[in-house]
Amino acid sequence: MNKDNSEFLARLASIAADIEVLLKQLLDDAPLEGEIFRPARLVAAMRHAALDGGKRLRPFLLVETAAIFGASRASALMAGAALELVHCYSLAHDDLPAMDDDDLRRGRPTVHKAFDEATAILVGDALLTLAFDVMARSRVHPDPAIRVALVLELARASGFGGMAGGQMLDLAAEGRFAPKRTLTESEVTTLQAMKTGALIRFACRAGAILGQADAAARASADRYGAAIGQAFQIADDLLDVEGDAKTLGKAAGKDAAAGKATLVAALGPAGARARLKELVAEADGALAPFGAKADTLRAAARFVAERRT
Q: Which residues of the shown chain bind a copy of itself in the complex (CB under 8 A)?
A: 31-39, 41-43, 46, 89, 93, 96, 98-99, 116-119, 121-122, 124-126, 128-130, 132-133, 135-137, 144-145, 147-149, 151-162, 164-165, 167-169, 171-172, 176-177, 190, 193-194, 198
Query: In which region does residue 110 sit, left (phi positive, over 0), alpha (psi from -120 to 50) or beta (all else)?
Result: beta
Shortest Cβ 238–a copy of itself spacing (Å): 23
* Nearest one of 233, 227, 234, 243 to 279, comparing CA atoms: 227
- One-letter amino acid of 113: K
DSSP string, 148-193: HHHHHHHHHHHSTTTHHHHHHHHHHHTTSSS---PPPHHHHHHHHI
Residue with smaller CB distance to a copy of itself, 12 or 82: 82
Shortest Cβ 79–a copy of itself spacing (Å): 13
Q: How far apart are alpha carbons 168 and 87 in whole angstroms? A: 16
| Helices 215-242 & 263-287 angle (0-180, nearest 10) | 150
Residue with smaller CB distance to a copy of itself, 10 or 177: 177
Residue with smaller CB distance to a copy of itself, 176 or 277: 176
Residue with smaller CB distance to a copy of itself, 35 or 179: 35
| 195 DSSP assignment | I
| 95 DSSP assignment | T
| Tally of CB atoms within 10 A around 161 | 13
Residue with smaller CB distance to a copy of itself, 122 or 294: 122
Q: How far apart are alpha carbons 170 and 163 in whole angstroms? A: 10
Shortest Cβ 209–a copy of itself spacing (Å): 12
Residue with smaller CB distance to a copy of itself, 33 or 291: 33
Residue with smaller CB distance to a copy of itself, 194 or 266: 194
| 52 DSSP assignment | S
Shortest Cβ 303–a copy of itself spacing (Å): 26
Shortest Cβ 194–a copy of itself spacing (Å): 5
Residue with smaller CB distance to a copy of itself, 45 or 294: 45
Shortest Cβ 116–a copy of itself spacing (Å): 7
Shortest Cβ 187–a copy of itself spacing (Å): 10
Shortest Cβ 169–a copy of itself spacing (Å): 6
H-state helical runs in the chain: 2-26, 40-50, 57-68, 73-94, 111-114, 117-135, 144-158, 163-173, 185-192, 198-210, 215-242, 245-248, 254-258, 263-287, 295-306
